[in-house]
């Protein structure tokens, strides 16, 4: 059986179930993972996607057929898988999830433990190990079920002092993802009044798309925050590794603005440290980080790139426009719930409303990311490169062109057949003008 080569992404494995990624493919991926990593003890978590139980069974069979043992932690946020892999002494970990992708998708995020941290096992690298493997001569490995929740919750609370968190009125939109299970376990540990909507894990995503950035996905929570007179809201993606903040007026804060909330706080505790951000974040990020005495480090888009830069530059924090926030003391990995708790502590200590804090960090006008489905992404990138050759260009990830009073980035998605456009300008009028101009040029 041949596996569709398109599922092996630069960072992980993702595909439509069962057309591109099914039980047979999962079995072979399990075998290949053991061959690639040499692991004998592998912990597996999964999200709430409808196909996750079937993919787990097949993946576990592939792993155990090679003599390795599987330790199942069940339905958990992806960050719980990070914690269990490192802290319980397993050789490697696999999370069955397609993160924020539409319901038809599923996939694997894969890691190998290295000392007290994690290294990514990239999908494109694993593809080279896909073949027919004989049954292990010493016998099959075992499958054991364990509970990682207690240790994981202690870990995320180690980043804050819960007694400092004010008794806020909060709305949380779990998006029918894994955030609902986590909120249920931690809500009594906080003085806050938490109203969790779409809390039941459901891989069909009945309320709205798993990606909070999709059009209309945040409409419900924005309305709930205003209707309930809440102090703020939070919305998570499917596997809860991405988080977005909603202010008391129901406004959706972009991920780079929220990054600055956390960066200012951590630079007070760790002065002079590096803050890593990706190239589609607002130029306000490096400006404020420098102002606060930190070292801004720019990377391509993706958690893999941020993690590497944090490790190379001794970064204390990494963040993306997509709502991923990585912490040095979390193995330089992302965590929606560490971010959630730290933000509550920051806002508590400030004594200000969320909108008042955000106003300071938003001196420019930025569009939400605009996606274009195109047959020939590279041809279109070449066309835009030539059309905007008068600006300062760089090619760290796609093409970025800077004209001083405005800039844009156009890059290919690593997980979907899309070109993604980000634009920022000094005025709202200029932003709208350039958004219309570029959208027309890309569609033409």
Kindly give the interhelix angle for 336-350 and 78-87, rounded to the nearest 10 degrees: 100
Max Cα–Cα distance, the chain, nearest Å: 69
CA–CA separation, 412 vs 277, rounded Å?
18
On whether the CB atoms of residues 226 and 249 are closer than 8 A, the answer is: yes
CA–CA separation, 46 vs 207, rounded Å?
21
R_g over Cα of the chain: 22
Q: Say whether 302 sits in a helix, a strand or coil.
A: coil
CA–CA separation, 140 vs 147, rounded Å?
23
Question: Which of the 8 DSSP states describes residue 8?
Answer: B
Residues 6+ apart with CB under 8 A from 134: none
Residue whose pair of structure tokens reads 């890691």 in the numeric block: 111
56-95 exposure pattern, b = at least 16 Cβ within 10 A, e = fewer? bebbbbbbbbbebbbbbbbebbbbbbbbbbbbbebbbbbb
The DSSP result for 275-287, as a single string, is EEEETTS-THHHH
On whether the CB atoms of residues 298 and 291 are closer than 8 A, the answer is: no
- Per the residue annotation, which of 26, 39, 65, 99 is the catalytic one? 99
Pairing of strands 399-402, 392-394: antiparallel
Residue 99 annotated as catalytic:
yes
Pairing of strands 13-16, 105-114: antiparallel
On whether the CB atoms of residues 309 and 276 are closer than 8 A, the answer is: yes
Nearest Cα to 401, choosing from 426, 374, 438, 364?
A: 438
Task: Count the Cβ atoms, other than its own, within 10 Å of residue 6.
Answer: 12
Q: Which residues are catalytic?
A: 99
């Amino acid at each position: 059986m041949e596996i569709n080569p398109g599922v092996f992404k630069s960072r992980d494995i993702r595909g439509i179930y069962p057309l591109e990624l099914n039980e047979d493919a999962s079995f072979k991926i399990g075998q290949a993972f053991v061959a690639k990593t040499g692991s004998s003890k592998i912990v597996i978590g999964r999200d709430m996607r409808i196909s996750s139980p079937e993919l787990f069974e097949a993946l576990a069979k592939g792993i155990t057929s090679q003599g390795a043992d599987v330790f199942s932690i069940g339905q958990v946020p992806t960050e719980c898988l990070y914690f269990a892999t490192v802290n319980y002494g397993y050789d490697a970990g696999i999370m069955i999830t397609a993160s924020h992708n539409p319901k038809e998708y599923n996939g694997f995020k894969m890691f190998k433990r290295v000392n007290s941290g994690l290294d990514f096992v990239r999908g494109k690298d694993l593809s080279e190990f896909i073949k027919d493997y004989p049954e292990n001569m010493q016998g099959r490995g075992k499958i054991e079920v364990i509970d990682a929740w207690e240790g994981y919750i202690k870990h995320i609370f180690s980043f804050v002092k819960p007694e400092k968190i004010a008794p806020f009125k909060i709305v949380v939109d779990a998006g029918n993802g894994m955030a609902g299970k986590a909120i249920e376990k931690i809500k009594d540990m906080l003085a806050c009044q938490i109203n969790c909507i779409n809390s039941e894990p459901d891989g069909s995503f009945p309320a709205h798309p798993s990606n909070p950035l999709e059009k209309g996905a945040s409409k419900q929570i924005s309305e709930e925050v205003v209707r309930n007179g809440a102090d703020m809201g939070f919305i998570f993606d499917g596997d809860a590794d991405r988080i977005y903040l909603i202010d008391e007026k129901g406004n959706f804060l972009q991920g780079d603005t929220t990054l600055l909330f956390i960066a200012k706080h951590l630079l007070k505790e760790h002065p002079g440290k590096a803050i890593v951000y990706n190239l589609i974040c607002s130029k306000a990020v490096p400006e404020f980080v420098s102002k606060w005495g930190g070292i801004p480090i720019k990377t391509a888009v993706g958690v893999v790139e941020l993690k590497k830069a944090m490790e190379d530059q001794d970064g204390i924090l990494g963040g993306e426009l997509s709502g991923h926030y990585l912490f040095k003391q979390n193995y330089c990995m992302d965590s929606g719930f560490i971010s959630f708790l730290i933000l509550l502590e920051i806002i508590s200590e400030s004594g200000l409303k969320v909108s008042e804090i955000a106003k300071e960090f938003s001196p420019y006008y930025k569009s939400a990311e605009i996606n274009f489905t195109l047959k020939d992404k590279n041809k279109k990138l070449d066309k835009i490169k030539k059309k905007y050759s008068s600006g300062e260009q760089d090619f760290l990830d796609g093409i970025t062109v800077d004209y001083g009073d405005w800039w844009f980035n156009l890059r290919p998605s690593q997980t979907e057949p899309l070109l993604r456009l980000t634009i920022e300008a000094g005025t709202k009028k200029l932003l709208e003008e350039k958004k219309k101009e570029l959208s027309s040029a890309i569609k033409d």
